[in-house]
Amino acid sequence: MLSWCINSLKPCNVLVADALARTAKYRLAQITAWPFRPFISPNCSGHSLLSRLSTLGGYPNDVLTGSYNTGFSTKRNPAGSNSSNNDNGSNGFVGGACSRVRKTKLVCTIGPATCKKETLFKLADAGMNVARLNMSHGTHESHKAVIDLVKEYNKTGRGCVATMLDTKGPEVRSGDLAEPMQLERRDTLTFTITEGANGKGGRVSVNYDGFIDDVSIGDELLVDGGIMSFVVKGKTDTDVQVEVVDGGVLQGRRHLNIRGKSANLPAITDKDWLDLKFGVEAGVDYYALSFVQDEYVIREVKKWLAEQGSKIKVGKQIGMVPPTTCASGYKS
Protein backbone atom coordinates (compact mmCIF):
# COMPACT_ATOMS: atom_id res chain seq x y z
CA MET A 1 0.00 0.00 0.00
CA LEU A 2 2.81 2.39 0.94
CA SER A 3 4.66 1.79 -2.30
CA TRP A 4 1.48 2.39 -4.28
CA CYS A 5 0.96 5.65 -2.42
CA ILE A 6 4.51 6.86 -2.93
CA ASN A 7 4.58 6.03 -6.62
CA SER A 8 1.29 7.85 -7.20
CA LEU A 9 2.44 11.10 -5.58
CA LYS A 10 3.52 13.96 -7.83
CA PRO A 11 6.85 15.78 -7.28
CA CYS A 12 5.08 18.66 -5.52
CA ASN A 13 4.25 16.17 -2.77
CA VAL A 14 7.76 14.80 -2.39
CA LEU A 15 7.94 15.89 1.25
CA VAL A 16 4.73 14.01 1.99
CA ALA A 17 6.08 10.88 0.32
CA ASP A 18 9.31 11.16 2.26
CA ALA A 19 7.43 11.59 5.54
CA LEU A 20 5.29 8.54 4.81
CA ALA A 21 8.36 6.48 4.16
CA ARG A 22 10.22 7.70 7.23
CA THR A 23 7.32 7.05 9.59
CA ALA A 24 7.06 3.54 8.17
CA LYS A 25 10.81 2.97 8.30
CA TYR A 26 10.56 -0.16 10.44
CA ARG A 27 8.00 -1.73 8.11
CA LEU A 28 10.14 -0.84 5.10
CA ALA A 29 13.08 -2.53 6.75
CA GLN A 30 11.01 -5.70 6.99
CA ILE A 31 9.94 -5.46 3.37
CA THR A 32 13.42 -4.78 2.02
CA ALA A 33 14.77 -7.70 4.03
CA TRP A 34 12.46 -9.96 2.02
CA PRO A 35 14.60 -12.70 0.46
CA PHE A 36 13.13 -12.07 -2.98
CA ARG A 37 14.29 -8.47 -2.84
CA PRO A 38 15.50 -7.97 -6.40
CA PHE A 39 12.44 -9.73 -7.91
CA ILE A 40 14.03 -10.00 -11.32
CA SER A 41 12.67 -12.79 -13.48
CA PRO A 42 15.31 -15.07 -15.03
CA ASN A 43 12.97 -15.17 -18.01
CA CYS A 44 13.87 -11.53 -18.73
CA SER A 45 17.56 -11.84 -19.46
CA GLY A 46 19.27 -8.46 -19.62
CA HIS A 47 16.14 -6.52 -18.79
CA SER A 48 16.05 -4.54 -15.56
CA LEU A 49 12.86 -3.74 -13.70
CA LEU A 50 14.49 -0.44 -12.83
CA SER A 51 14.33 0.72 -16.43
CA ARG A 52 10.62 1.42 -15.94
CA LEU A 53 10.76 3.37 -12.69
CA SER A 54 10.47 6.74 -14.43
CA THR A 55 7.03 5.81 -15.79
CA LEU A 56 5.46 5.00 -12.42
CA GLY A 57 4.54 8.55 -11.39
CA GLY A 58 5.59 12.16 -11.43
CA TYR A 59 7.57 13.58 -14.33
CA PRO A 60 9.73 11.61 -16.80
CA ASN A 61 13.14 10.66 -15.36
CA ASP A 62 11.92 10.93 -11.77
CA VAL A 63 13.35 8.07 -9.73
CA LEU A 64 13.16 7.05 -6.10
CA THR A 65 16.22 7.32 -3.90
CA GLY A 66 17.02 6.63 -0.30
CA SER A 67 18.64 4.12 2.01
CA TYR A 68 17.67 1.11 4.08
CA ASN A 69 17.14 3.15 7.22
CA THR A 70 15.66 6.41 5.97
CA GLY A 71 13.09 5.42 3.39
CA PHE A 72 12.49 7.32 0.17
CA SER A 73 13.00 10.71 -1.38
CA THR A 74 12.52 11.71 -4.98
CA LYS A 75 15.29 13.05 -7.19
CA ARG A 76 14.89 14.73 -10.54
CA ASN A 77 17.56 13.50 -12.96
CA PRO A 78 19.44 16.11 -14.99
CA ALA A 79 18.05 16.71 -18.45
CA GLY A 80 19.32 14.19 -20.94
CA SER A 81 20.57 11.76 -18.29
CA ASN A 82 19.72 8.11 -18.54
CA SER A 83 19.99 7.06 -14.91
CA SER A 84 16.47 5.65 -14.99
CA ASN A 85 17.94 2.78 -17.01
CA ASN A 86 20.14 1.94 -14.09
CA ASP A 87 21.17 -1.68 -14.43
CA ASN A 88 24.40 -1.96 -12.47
CA GLY A 89 23.65 -5.36 -11.03
CA SER A 90 22.24 -4.20 -7.71
CA ASN A 91 18.62 -4.03 -8.93
CA GLY A 92 17.41 -2.47 -5.74
CA PHE A 93 19.49 -4.59 -3.38
CA VAL A 94 20.10 -2.43 -0.34
CA GLY A 95 23.77 -1.84 0.23
CA GLY A 96 24.64 -1.93 -3.45
CA ALA A 97 26.47 0.85 -5.23
CA CYS A 98 23.26 2.15 -6.77
CA SER A 99 21.21 4.56 -4.67
CA ARG A 100 18.65 5.61 -7.31
CA VAL A 101 16.39 2.60 -6.90
CA ARG A 102 13.01 1.74 -5.45
CA LYS A 103 13.47 -0.33 -2.31
CA THR A 104 10.08 -2.05 -2.38
CA LYS A 105 8.50 -4.23 -5.04
CA LEU A 106 4.84 -4.56 -5.91
CA VAL A 107 3.53 -8.10 -5.46
CA CYS A 108 0.05 -8.67 -6.88
CA THR A 109 -1.99 -11.79 -6.19
CA ILE A 110 -3.54 -12.93 -9.45
CA GLY A 111 -7.03 -14.39 -9.17
CA PRO A 112 -10.30 -14.55 -11.11
CA ALA A 113 -10.57 -10.75 -11.30
CA THR A 114 -7.06 -10.23 -12.70
CA CYS A 115 -6.14 -13.37 -14.65
CA LYS A 116 -7.34 -12.15 -18.05
CA LYS A 117 -4.69 -10.91 -20.45
CA GLU A 118 -5.90 -7.32 -20.65
CA THR A 119 -6.16 -6.88 -16.89
CA LEU A 120 -2.87 -8.60 -16.10
CA PHE A 121 -1.02 -6.50 -18.70
CA LYS A 122 -2.53 -3.35 -17.18
CA LEU A 123 -1.23 -4.39 -13.75
CA ALA A 124 2.22 -4.99 -15.21
CA ASP A 125 2.23 -1.64 -17.02
CA ALA A 126 1.15 0.08 -13.78
CA GLY A 127 4.21 -1.27 -11.95
CA MET A 128 3.55 -4.85 -10.84
CA ASN A 129 6.90 -6.54 -10.25
CA VAL A 130 5.69 -9.97 -9.16
CA ALA A 131 2.62 -12.03 -10.03
CA ARG A 132 1.76 -14.11 -6.97
CA LEU A 133 0.04 -17.46 -7.46
CA ASN A 134 -1.88 -18.46 -4.33
CA MET A 135 -1.93 -22.25 -4.33
CA SER A 136 -4.67 -22.27 -1.70
CA HIS A 137 -7.02 -21.44 -4.57
CA GLY A 138 -7.33 -22.25 -8.24
CA THR A 139 -5.95 -25.20 -10.18
CA HIS A 140 -2.65 -26.01 -11.84
CA GLU A 141 -4.29 -25.30 -15.17
CA SER A 142 -5.49 -21.83 -14.13
CA HIS A 143 -2.11 -20.95 -12.62
CA LYS A 144 -0.27 -22.21 -15.72
CA ALA A 145 -2.39 -19.86 -17.84
CA VAL A 146 -1.24 -16.93 -15.67
CA ILE A 147 2.41 -17.97 -15.91
CA ASP A 148 2.13 -18.15 -19.70
CA LEU A 149 0.58 -14.67 -19.81
CA VAL A 150 3.40 -13.26 -17.69
CA LYS A 151 5.99 -14.79 -20.01
CA GLU A 152 4.10 -13.35 -22.98
CA TYR A 153 4.15 -9.90 -21.38
CA ASN A 154 7.87 -10.11 -20.70
CA LYS A 155 8.52 -10.87 -24.36
CA THR A 156 6.84 -7.62 -25.40
CA GLY A 157 9.72 -5.59 -23.96
CA ARG A 158 7.33 -3.39 -21.97
CA GLY A 159 8.68 -4.64 -18.66
CA CYS A 160 9.80 -7.62 -16.67
CA VAL A 161 7.50 -9.40 -14.20
CA ALA A 162 8.48 -12.39 -12.07
CA THR A 163 6.17 -15.19 -10.96
CA MET A 164 5.97 -16.39 -7.37
CA LEU A 165 4.28 -19.62 -6.25
CA ASP A 166 2.90 -19.27 -2.71
CA THR A 167 2.26 -22.66 -1.13
CA LYS A 168 -0.81 -23.39 0.94
CA GLY A 169 1.29 -24.81 3.76
CA PRO A 170 0.44 -26.97 6.77
CA GLU A 171 -2.49 -24.94 7.94
CA VAL A 172 -5.51 -25.72 10.08
CA ARG A 173 -8.75 -24.32 8.67
CA SER A 174 -12.38 -24.25 9.64
CA GLY A 175 -14.86 -25.87 7.25
CA ASP A 176 -17.44 -24.40 4.93
CA LEU A 177 -20.39 -22.64 6.57
CA ALA A 178 -24.01 -22.55 5.49
CA GLU A 179 -23.82 -18.80 6.13
CA PRO A 180 -21.48 -16.36 7.93
CA MET A 181 -21.83 -16.39 11.72
CA GLN A 182 -22.07 -13.16 13.71
CA LEU A 183 -20.38 -13.84 17.06
CA GLU A 184 -20.32 -11.55 20.08
CA ARG A 185 -18.16 -11.62 23.19
CA ARG A 186 -19.05 -14.53 25.54
CA ASP A 187 -20.94 -16.42 22.84
CA THR A 188 -20.12 -20.14 22.75
CA LEU A 189 -19.12 -22.25 19.77
CA THR A 190 -17.96 -25.82 19.13
CA PHE A 191 -15.17 -26.76 16.72
CA THR A 192 -15.31 -30.41 15.74
CA ILE A 193 -13.29 -32.86 13.65
CA THR A 194 -16.59 -34.44 12.62
CA GLU A 195 -17.23 -33.75 8.95
CA GLY A 196 -20.28 -31.84 7.80
CA ALA A 197 -20.60 -29.36 10.67
CA ASN A 198 -21.47 -26.17 8.79
CA GLY A 199 -22.25 -23.70 11.55
CA LYS A 200 -25.79 -24.84 12.26
CA GLY A 201 -26.35 -25.53 15.93
CA GLY A 202 -23.16 -23.64 16.74
CA ARG A 203 -20.91 -26.40 15.39
CA VAL A 204 -18.04 -25.77 12.93
CA SER A 205 -15.81 -28.45 11.41
CA VAL A 206 -12.01 -28.39 11.38
CA ASN A 207 -9.87 -30.03 8.66
CA TYR A 208 -7.22 -31.43 11.04
CA ASP A 209 -7.85 -34.57 13.11
CA GLY A 210 -4.97 -33.76 15.47
CA PHE A 211 -6.69 -30.52 16.48
CA ILE A 212 -8.14 -32.18 19.59
CA ASP A 213 -4.72 -33.34 20.82
CA ASP A 214 -3.06 -29.98 20.17
CA VAL A 215 -5.65 -27.95 22.10
CA SER A 216 -5.69 -27.59 25.89
CA ILE A 217 -8.29 -25.97 28.15
CA GLY A 218 -7.38 -22.31 28.62
CA ASP A 219 -5.66 -21.97 25.23
CA GLU A 220 -6.41 -18.93 23.08
CA LEU A 221 -7.62 -19.89 19.60
CA LEU A 222 -7.05 -17.26 16.90
CA VAL A 223 -8.88 -16.81 13.61
CA ASP A 224 -6.75 -15.48 10.72
CA GLY A 225 -3.94 -14.45 13.06
CA GLY A 226 -6.14 -12.60 15.55
CA ILE A 227 -9.05 -11.01 13.67
CA MET A 228 -11.22 -13.02 16.05
CA SER A 229 -10.25 -14.98 19.14
CA PHE A 230 -11.69 -17.62 21.46
CA VAL A 231 -10.71 -19.20 24.75
CA VAL A 232 -10.96 -23.00 25.04
CA LYS A 233 -13.41 -24.00 27.76
CA GLY A 234 -13.57 -27.77 27.27
CA LYS A 235 -13.04 -30.66 24.87
CA THR A 236 -14.05 -34.24 24.11
CA ASP A 237 -12.66 -36.87 21.76
CA THR A 238 -14.13 -35.02 18.78
CA ASP A 239 -15.14 -31.53 19.93
CA VAL A 240 -13.54 -28.38 21.33
CA GLN A 241 -15.84 -25.96 23.15
CA VAL A 242 -14.80 -22.31 23.03
CA GLU A 243 -16.05 -18.94 24.26
CA VAL A 244 -15.74 -15.80 22.15
CA VAL A 245 -13.22 -13.22 23.38
CA ASP A 246 -12.96 -10.95 20.34
CA GLY A 247 -16.09 -11.22 18.24
CA GLY A 248 -16.85 -10.58 14.61
CA VAL A 249 -18.21 -12.35 11.55
CA LEU A 250 -16.87 -15.89 11.15
CA GLN A 251 -16.63 -16.94 7.51
CA GLY A 252 -15.95 -20.39 6.14
CA ARG A 253 -12.48 -21.84 5.53
CA ARG A 254 -10.72 -19.53 8.01
CA HIS A 255 -7.18 -20.15 9.23
CA LEU A 256 -7.02 -21.30 12.86
CA ASN A 257 -4.06 -21.38 15.20
CA ILE A 258 -3.39 -21.59 18.92
CA ARG A 259 -1.44 -18.70 20.38
CA GLY A 260 2.08 -19.84 21.26
CA LYS A 261 1.69 -23.32 19.78
CA SER A 262 2.36 -24.99 16.44
CA ALA A 263 0.19 -27.72 14.99
CA ASN A 264 1.88 -31.11 14.70
CA LEU A 265 1.66 -31.02 10.92
CA PRO A 266 4.38 -31.80 8.36
CA ALA A 267 6.34 -28.71 7.35
CA ILE A 268 5.54 -29.38 3.70
CA THR A 269 2.32 -31.21 2.94
CA ASP A 270 1.70 -33.65 0.10
CA LYS A 271 -0.23 -30.92 -1.70
CA ASP A 272 2.70 -28.54 -1.29
CA TRP A 273 5.08 -31.05 -2.92
CA LEU A 274 2.71 -31.45 -5.86
CA ASP A 275 2.53 -27.67 -6.21
CA LEU A 276 6.32 -27.31 -5.98
CA LYS A 277 6.77 -29.89 -8.72
CA PHE A 278 4.24 -28.00 -10.81
CA GLY A 279 6.27 -24.82 -10.27
CA VAL A 280 9.41 -26.46 -11.64
CA GLU A 281 7.57 -27.73 -14.70
CA ALA A 282 5.82 -24.41 -15.33
CA GLY A 283 8.97 -22.35 -14.83
CA VAL A 284 8.11 -20.02 -11.95
CA ASP A 285 10.79 -17.74 -10.56
CA TYR A 286 10.21 -17.88 -6.80
CA TYR A 287 8.66 -20.02 -4.09
CA ALA A 288 7.12 -18.48 -0.96
CA LEU A 289 6.67 -21.22 1.63
CA SER A 290 3.82 -20.72 4.09
CA PHE A 291 3.97 -21.25 7.87
CA VAL A 292 7.68 -22.08 7.95
CA GLN A 293 8.82 -22.87 11.50
CA ASP A 294 12.58 -23.15 11.01
CA GLU A 295 15.41 -22.83 8.49
CA TYR A 296 15.54 -26.56 7.78
CA VAL A 297 12.34 -26.39 5.75
CA ILE A 298 13.93 -23.85 3.39
CA ARG A 299 17.08 -25.96 3.15
CA GLU A 300 15.07 -29.08 2.38
CA VAL A 301 13.32 -27.39 -0.54
CA LYS A 302 16.57 -25.88 -1.83
CA LYS A 303 18.21 -29.30 -1.76
CA TRP A 304 15.27 -30.80 -3.64
CA LEU A 305 15.44 -28.02 -6.24
CA ALA A 306 19.16 -28.63 -6.75
CA GLU A 307 18.38 -32.28 -7.44
CA GLN A 308 15.84 -31.13 -10.04
CA GLY A 309 18.40 -28.85 -11.65
CA SER A 310 16.18 -25.85 -10.94
CA LYS A 311 17.33 -22.33 -10.02
CA ILE A 312 14.04 -21.24 -8.46
CA LYS A 313 14.64 -18.99 -5.44
CA VAL A 314 13.05 -19.95 -2.12
CA GLY A 315 11.91 -17.84 0.80
CA LYS A 316 9.41 -17.68 3.62
CA GLN A 317 6.03 -16.10 3.12
CA ILE A 318 5.61 -12.88 5.08
CA GLY A 319 2.09 -13.00 6.44
CA MET A 320 0.01 -11.41 9.13
CA VAL A 321 1.77 -10.94 12.47
CA PRO A 322 -0.43 -12.19 15.33
CA PRO A 323 -1.42 -9.46 17.78
CA THR A 324 0.58 -9.21 20.99
CA THR A 325 -0.61 -8.19 24.43
CA CYS A 326 1.29 -5.37 26.17
CA ALA A 327 1.90 -5.20 29.90
CA SER A 328 -0.98 -2.73 30.13
CA GLY A 329 -3.32 -5.36 28.74
CA TYR A 330 -3.92 -3.68 25.40
CA LYS A 331 -3.49 -5.63 22.17
CA SER A 332 -1.33 -4.30 19.36
The tens digit of pLDDT for each residue in 23-53 reads 444 343 333 334 444 444 555 543 333 333 3
- Of residues 307, 301, 312, the one with CA closest to residue 41: 312
**Structure confidence at residue 111 (pLDDT):** 94
In the three-class reduction of DSSP (H, G, I as helix; E, B as strand; rest coil), residue 120 is classed as: helix
pLDDT at 95 exceeding the cut of 80? no
Note the pLDDT of residue 67.
31
Sequence-ordered list of residues with C-beta below 8 angstroms from that of 198, at least 6 positions apart, any chain: 175, 176, 177, 178, 204, 205
Find all residues with CB under 8 Å of 108, minimum gap 6, and list them: 114, 123, 128, 130, 131, 132
Mean pLDDT of 3-30: 41
Length of the chain measured in residues: 332
Are 147 and 139 in contact by the 8 Å Cβ rule? The answer is no
Helix, strand, coil abundance in the chain, percent, nearest 5: 30, 25, 50
Strand partners, 249: 182
305, pLDDT greater than 70: yes
Residue 327's pLDDT band, with cuts at 50, 70 and 90, is: very low
- CB neighbourhood size of 138 (10 A): 17
Confidence of residue 293 (pLDDT cuts 50, 70, 90): confident
Residue 306 has pLDDT above 80, yes or no: yes
Please tell me the pTM assigned to this model: 0.56
So what's the pLDDT on residue 156? 95
- What average pLDDT is seen over the chain? 74
Residue 100 has pLDDT above 80, yes or no: no
Region of poorest pLDDT, from 11-25, 103-117, 187-201: 11-25
Of 25-29, 38-42, 158-162, 308-312, where does mean pLDDT reach its minimum?
Answer: 25-29
pLDDT at 250: 96
Contacts within 8 Å (CB) and 24+ apart, 188-191: 188/233, 188/241, 188/242, 188/243, 188/244, 189/230, 189/241, 189/242, 189/243, 189/244, 189/250, 190/239, 190/240, 190/241, 190/242, 191/221, 191/239, 191/240, 191/242, 191/256
Identify the pLDDT of residue 102.
66
**Whole-number Å distance between alpha carbons of 234 and 45:** 58
Residue 228, strand partner residues:
223
Q: How many CB atoms lie within 10 A of CB 255?
A: 19
For residue range 119-149, what is the model confidence (pLDDT) as tens digits? 999 999 999 999 999 998 899 999 999 999 9
Cα separation of 289 and 298, whole Å? 8
Q: Which helix (H) or strand (E) holds 145?
A: helix 140-155
Secondary structure (3-state) at 19: helix
Q: State pLDDT tens for residues 236-288.
A: 999 999 999 999 999 999 989 888 877 777 788 889 999 999 999 999 999 99
How confident is residue 302, by pLDDT bands cut at 50, 70 and 90?
very high
